[in-house]
Amino acid sequence: MKKAGIIGAGSWGCALARHLYNNGNQVTVWSVLEDEIQMLKECHEQKEKLPGVILPEDMEFTTDLEAAVADKDVLVLAVPSPFTRSTAAKMAPFVKDGQKIVNVAKGIEEATLMTLSEIIEQEIPNADVAVLSGPSHAEEVGKGIPTTIVVGSKNKETAEFLQNLFMSKVFRVYISSDIIGIELGAALKNVVALAAGIADGLGYGDNTKAALITRGIAEIARLGIHMGGRIETFYGLTGIGDLIVTCASMHSRNRRAGILIGKGASMEEAMEQVKMVVEGVYSAKAGYALSQKYQVSMPIIEQVNEILFKGKSASEAVSELMLRDKKVENIDLRQLYQNSVEIPW
C-alpha cells in the first residue's frame, strides 16, 4: 500500500482518488475550497463536478496542504492548469527531495509558454515530476469504465513505479519518455476540441469533424516535432487518441463550450454555462504564440484565437479555413525528425 496525496478535488482529482483507493492505496484529497471539502466529507461525492461517483467512507479530505503533501509516496497534481504554478509554489515548502509528483492537468502557461511539468520543476526543483495523459474522461474513470493512458517521465524507474501504481484491470497504463510530446498533445487537443464544438454549434456534420480532427493532429504534430517531441507520440494515445475522445464526447467541457460559441454565445458566456474551467481557452493563445515562435503553420489554432479573442464570427472562420491556398496533404515529417532524436531510456 502506498500513500497518495491528490492535490485538487475536481472531477479528475476525485476520479483518480477513487481509482487509487480501489488499487489498495491510502488516499488524501486536498482542496483550497472549504465548501468543497465539507461537501466531500459529508456526502463522499463531488456533487457538482462528478455526480454519481461515490468516494469511500475512510478516504481523507482536507484543506491542510501540508497534511496532504507530507509523507506521501506520490502526489497527484490535479488542479486546473491556470492554478498549477500558484499551487506548486504553495506545495514547495512541504515537498521532500525526490518526491514523485505526477501532473494530470493539461495546458500551457500563456505568459511563459512553459508546459505544466516545466512549471512544477521550476517551482519545486527538488521533485521528480512526471505526467499522466490520454483519452480519459473523469466521468468514465470514476465509474471504472476501461481506459488506457500514458505516463511520461524522464526517469524509467519513476515511469514504472507510476505504471504499477495506476495499473488495474480497468485502467491500462503505458509509459513514455516523451514528456514534451505528451504535454503538447494534451494541451492543444483542447483547442481543436473547441473548434469541433463550434462546428457542431454551427450545425455542421461528421465530415467537418473528421477534417478538424485529422488536420488538427497534423498541426499539433508539426509544432511538437519542432519542439523536440517524437512523431509516434502524436499518433498515439496522448495525441490522436485524446483528440478523438475530446472532440467527439459531450463529457468534454471544451466541446460543450465550443457548441455554445457556435450557437452565438461569447467565450465568457460559454465558460459560465459550462461551469468548469475550459482548458482550451487558456491554451489557445499559448498555442498560437508557439506557432509564431517556431514558425509553424497552425490555421485551426489561429482561427480559434480569432473567434475567442478578436470577435470573428465562427462561420467566417470556417470559410477562411476552407478557402485558404491549395496545399499538398502531407509533408514528410521524418525530414523534421531527422532520425536523430535520442530516447533517454
Q: In this predicted model, what pLDDT tens digit does every residue of 18-28 receive, in sequence order?
A: 999 999 999 99
Supply φ then ψ for residue 318, to 5 degrees.
-65, -45
In this structure, the dihedral spanned by the alpha carbons of residues 195, 11, 50 and 169, taken in order and rounded to 10 degrees, is: 100
Is residue 293 annotated as a catalytic residue, yes or no? Answer: no
Q: Is domain 180-337 in CATH 1.10.1040.10, yes or no?
A: yes
Q: What is the pLDDT of residue 35?
A: 96
Give the pLDDT band of residue 58 (cuts 50, 70, 90): very high
DSSP letter (8 states) at residue 210: H
Which range has the worst mean pLDDT, 123-132, 150-159, 209-218? Answer: 209-218
In the block, which residue shows the cell 519545486? 124
Measured distance CA(204)–CA(210) in Å, rounded = 11
Q: What is the pLDDT of residue 8?
A: 98
Same fold, 3-131 and 180-337: no
Residue 244's CB is within 10 A of a number of other CB atoms, namely 18
Distances (CA, A) of 179 to 1, 159, 216: 27, 11, 20
Q: What is the pLDDT of residue 344?
A: 73
C-alpha cell belonging to residue 304: 480559434
- CB-based contacts of 33, cutoff 8 Å, min separation 6: 9, 63
Beta strands in 162-286, from DSSP E residues, in sequence order: 171-176
C-alpha cell belonging to residue 60: 481523507
Q: What is the pLDDT of residue 272?
A: 87
Measured distance CA(66)–CA(53) in Å, rounded = 27
287 with 191: CB under 8 angstroms?
yes
Which range has the worst mean pLDDT, 186-200, 240-254, 326-340? Answer: 326-340
Question: What is the fold of 3-131?
Answer: Rossmann fold (3.40.50)
Q: What is the mean pLDDT of the chain?
A: 93
Measured distance CA(268)–CA(6) in Å, rounded = 29
Which range has the worst mean pLDDT, 13-17, 99-103, 272-276? Answer: 272-276
Measured distance CA(263)–CA(309) in Å, rounded = 17
Which range has the worst mean pLDDT, 218-227, 238-247, 277-286? Answer: 277-286
| Selected catalytic residue, list 189, 263, 312, 326 | 189
Q: Delimit the domains of the chain by residue range.
A: 3-131, 180-337
How far does the chain reach from its first CA to its final CA, in angstroms? 27
Task: State pTM to two decimals.
Answer: 0.92
Residue 98, Cβ density class (10 Å: 0-12 exposed, 13-18 middle, ≥19 buried)? exposed
Q: 27-43, pLDDT tens digit by residue?
A: 999 999 999 999 999 99
Measured distance CA(57)–CA(342) in Å, rounded = 47
Question: What value, to the nearest 5°, has the Cα angle with vertex 245 and ends 240 and 246?
Answer: 95
For 101, the 3-state DSSP assignment is: strand
Q: What is the arithmetic mean of pLDDT over 177-181?
A: 97
